[in-house]
Structure 1
Amino acid sequence: MTHTASASEPAGTRDDREYVLVTEYFAPDTASTGVLMTDLAVGLRQRGLDISVLTSQPNYHSGENERQPRRTVHEGVPVRRIRAPQLRQSSLPRRLFNWTLFTLVAALTLLFSSPPRGRDRELLFVSNPPFLPPALWLVARLRGWDYTYIVYDLYPDNMVELGYLSDGVVVRVWSSLHRRVFRAARAVVALGPVMRERITRVAGTGFDAEKVAIVHNWQDGSFVVPRAKEENWFSAEHGLVDRFTLVYSGNIGTFHDLDTLVEAAARVDDPGVHFLVVGEGDNKRHVRTLAAELGLGPDRVTFLPYQEWDDLPYSLTAGDAMVVTVREGFEGLCVSSKLYTAMATGRPVLCIAQPDSDEARIVEGFDAGQQVAQGDVEALVVAVDRWRADPAFYRRQAENARRAFDAHFARDEAIGNYHALLTRGPTAVSDVTSPERETEMVDTGAATADD
């Protein structure tokens, strides 16, 4: 019989467990999930937890050709890779193939494996690929193991919001399985209070909301540091030093609203304002087509592919403001990990999202930038004009962004919260963005900077 811990257990009582982190992406993959899961595994190992990783072969942009041995050790963490082919993630059918194959092989691998004699095992897994949580719920049920579920994306709700699925039998069955995943978890990780509220609603009657802990994603604050454009070779190479540049960097997917940004670029009168879009994704062709239809050339909007990993600290800090955007309707379904990277750059954040989203709450709460709603092109133009017209306002928000990042969203803070969650339970984790911490948010932000 597996020991089931309660949230009230004192620190240290669970440290003798074996933890297995199951994730499709892990180093050397440079997908954001891979970077975060690598940080998490290494950080927990350094804090004394016996954790190993079950993952796939690299298959995401810069890691795509770096085939790895089946068993390796990454910074002290034992890594096991499934014996199954993985395709380059360049289309939805290819992703579906990878998702299905990884889920099946990972589940079977765990089902027929056992922890060392006399040890309990706990699984730790993220919501991607979307079929993984129900499969690992079944494995844990059959083997009598505990598990902690990290929700990066809320399935199948986001698939319905994107229009990939309609409210039919598939959605009802999938939703029913997901309710079981939530209810049986020892702990559930949400990325913000809006997501926590949504999870609680989705999980349904009888779900213990106390098992949901809010642990924000993070960035390595020593990797991404504020850097003046005049000292940045990337800014000089792309002619950005003398132009006020808004930077969007990352996946260009259907769940990111870049239309509002591009349409605003066509409305800005100031010739000194520039827009830089860095990345790839399913929606990039549409965004580039829209820019061309609006008559926007490289003098106003520059499109660049993903940058090499070592160049990211420079491309991210090449501009004057960072853009974080999500599609309307995704409040509580996901939280953009770009937000924490944006704050780490020491630039103010232009947050294209609904005011009640987790992203907007953080940006507004710490006075670290400006929020505009999706489709509100005029408000976006006004936001840019305000930064241009009021250098003190711009400087205050830029300083607040990095200050809030250092205080609440750096890597060590997040890994420490995960360690507390696993060793002491969900109630050991306190979220800075919860309503009861609102005063602290303001004090960390605007109240500490001069005008």
Structure 2
Amino acid sequence: MVIADRSLKIVIVSQYYKPEHARIPVELARSLAERGHEVRVVTGYPNYPEGRLYPGYRQRLSHHESDGAVRVRRVPIVVSHSQNALARFANYVSFAVSSIGASRFAADADVVYVYATQMTASLAPCLWRATRGTPFVLHVQDLWPESVTGSSMVSGSLAKRVVNGCLRPWLGAVYRSSAAVIGTAPTMARMLLDRGVESQKVHTVLNWAEENGAQEQPRGRARSDSGGTGLSLVYAGNLGEFQDLDTVVRAGAKITGLEGFTLTIVGSGIAEEGLKSLARDLGATNVIFRGRVPHAGMDEIYAASDFQVVPLRDLEIFRGTIPSKFQGSLANGIPVITTVAGDVSTIVRTHEIGFASGPGDVDALAASFRSAYALSPASRRLMGERARAYYMTEMSRDAGVERIEEILRSTAKIRTKKVRH
């Protein structure tokens, strides 16, 4: 029997899973199960993002539960979301090592899917590949070593060189061991090729948003003729070191004399107090800080938006990054104003779904704000319709799951052929 004609036994390895907000692995597991596959998940005990174990959980060597038709095996983990490098390293490595203890749980898998927010999650799948021949698909969410060396966890040029020198050979071995490697953007896929990953292994699958009816009911202000006057720009997300929000605040402060112009910043993070101080120093009364909003409150955030602002600093790694807020905006029919170089800006300009300027360029971003303000309500609605149409065609959950399922089937076939010889 050819394996493409039957359901697969799929094991998903992801450090994060529900009740943590881990949209991609959770929705992929459920969707693959709905398509008739037997799906099992190896994950840690829930503690992200606060770095505290969720109520109702007590760590032990083995814990089994069910998520509908999906069987879940939890393994012990060092609970931490500290900026301390050693604590974060312990968090990542403890899951990687503990996952090896789930070897029997994964023993008869046709294929393993690794949700690689951290590349360390690939440790057990690499072992299963070496000892059993079980192929694994690596879905790279954050490109290492840059995601490590570019973060606040590693400071100083010597430390960065040491970490880079240690990680690159190991990453090369992981890529060679994998049967397929998925990048989340075209530029990321090209960067993987530049790192020696074989071309036939590399695939691109754009991440999807949390849809929850977004396709049927776009939420932006521009969708309603009663949406109000002026322009409501919203940034919603982490207020961190990579988001380039000082450029956003400075651009907002340059917008004067435009009635009804507001720039609302939703979220919290290590840069929050500095950004508030900057806004006060600049006299930017049109910049409003909302603080953290519960995930369930995002409907309100989208409903208040004419445009979502999607910024990132000018780092090479971000040229192959598509922030999740970008998909969320498009899924809800809300155009974007972005400073993300590379794929995001290319998509925005090519499909006319917002405005793009270079990262760190305050004047250019302020010009984008003014251009958005000058659009008629009808033009804003049309831009939002194009945004949603692009999402539905290229980024929707159904499109992503179908593509990943194809890759898993093709990878499982590779194992079948090897076993037969």
TM-score (norm: length of structure 2): 0.85
Q: Tell me, in whole angstroms, the C-alpha distance in 2 between the residues paired with 1:414 and 1:123.
A: 17
- What's the CA shift for 1:169? 3.5
Distance 1:242 1:294, change over 3 A: same
Q: AA paired with 2:348?
A: V
Distance 1:425 1:14, change over 3 A: farther
Cα RMSD of the aligned pairs, angstroms, is 2.9
- What's the CA shift for 1:23? 1.0
- Kindly provide the CA deviation profile for residues 30-76 of structure 1, in whole angstroms up to 9, marking residues without a partner as x: 2xxx1121111101111122211111222235896344473221121
- Kindly provide the CA deviation profile for residues 397-450 of structure 1, in whole angstroms up to 9, marking residues without a partner as x: 222111211222111111111111111359xxxxxxxxxxxxxxxxxxxxxxxx
Q: Tell me, in whole angstroms, the C-alpha distance in 1 between the residues paired with 2:181 and 2:242.
A: 23
Distance 1:81 1:364, change over 3 A: same
- What's the CA shift for 1:115? 4.2
Q: AA paired with 2:130?
A: R
Q: Tell me, in whole angstroms, the C-alpha distance in 2 between the residues paired with 1:382 and 1:162.
A: 30
Q: AA paired with 1:305?
A: G
What's the counterpart of residue 95 of structure 2?
102
- Kindly provide the CA deviation profile for residues 308-345 of structure 1, in whole angstroms up to 9, marking residues without a partner as x: 23322222232210111222113345321211101112
Q: How does 1:412-423 map to 2 (within 5 A)?
A: 412-423=398-409
What's the counterpart of residue 72 of structure 1?
65
SS in 1 for 2:65: strand
Aligned: 1:379 with 2:370: no
Q: Tell me, in whole angstroms, the C-alpha distance in 1 between the residues paired with 2:411 and 2:119.
A: 25
Distance 1:407 1:230, change over 3 A: closer
- What's the CA shift for 1:188? 0.6
What's the counterpart of residue 435 of structure 1?
none
Q: How does 1:305-320 map to 2 (within 5 A)?
A: 305-320=291-306
- Kindly provide the CA deviation profile for residues 338-373 of structure 1, in whole angstroms up to 9, marking residues without a partner as x: 11101112111111122xx12112222221111111
Task: Tell me which of 326, 343, 351 is aligned to 2:338.
Answer: 351
**Can you give the 5+ residue segments of structure 1 that lack an aligned partner in the other structure?**
1-8, 427-451
Q: Tell me, in whole angstroms, the C-alpha distance in 2 between the residues paired with 1:317 and 1:179.
A: 45
- What's the CA shift for 1:121? 4.1
Q: Tell me, in whole angstroms, the C-alpha distance in 2 between the residues paired with 1:281 and 1:384.
A: 24
Q: Tell me, in whole angstroms, the C-alpha distance in 1 between the residues paired with 2:47 and 2:259.
A: 40
The answer to whether the 8 A contact 1:335-1:359 is kept is: yes
Q: Tell me, in whole angstroms, the C-alpha distance in 2 between the residues paired with 1:364 and 1:221.
A: 24
Distance 1:170 1:90, change over 3 A: closer
SS in 2 for 1:316: helix
SS in 1 for 2:238: coil
Count residues in correspondence: 397
What's the counterpart of residue 416 of structure 2?
none
The answer to whether the 8 A contact 2:220-2:333 is kept is: no
Q: Tell me, in whole angstroms, the C-alpha distance in 1 between the residues paired with 2:76 and 2:147.
A: 30
Aligned: 1:192 with 2:185: yes
- State percent identity of aligned pairs: 26
What's the counterpart of residue 217 of structure 1?
207
Q: AA paired with 1:212?
A: V
What's the counterpart of residue 226 of structure 1?
218
Aligned: 1:35 with 2:23: yes
Task: Tell me which of 368, 375, 386 is aligned to 1:400.
Answer: 386
- Kindly provide the CA deviation profile for residues 99-130 of structure 1, in whole angstroms up to 9, marking residues without a partner as x: 23222212x323x42546xx344221122234
Q: Tell me, in whole angstroms, the C-alpha distance in 1 between the residues paired with 2:66 and 2:14.
A: 16
- Kindly provide the CA deviation profile for residues 229-284 of structure 1, in whole angstroms up to 9, marking residues without a partner as x: 4999xxx9xxx955521111122232222121111011011242111111223333
**Can you give the 5+ residue segments of structure 2 that lack an aligned partner in the other structure?**
413-421
Q: Tell me, in whole angstroms, the C-alpha distance in 1 between the residues paired with 2:223 and 2:387.
A: 20
SS in 1 for 2:372: helix
Q: Tell me, in whole angstroms, the C-alpha distance in 2 between the residues paired with 1:285 and 1:98.
A: 28
Q: Tell me, in whole angstroms, the C-alpha distance in 1 between the residues paired with 2:223 and 2:294.
A: 19
TM-score (norm: length of structure 1): 0.80
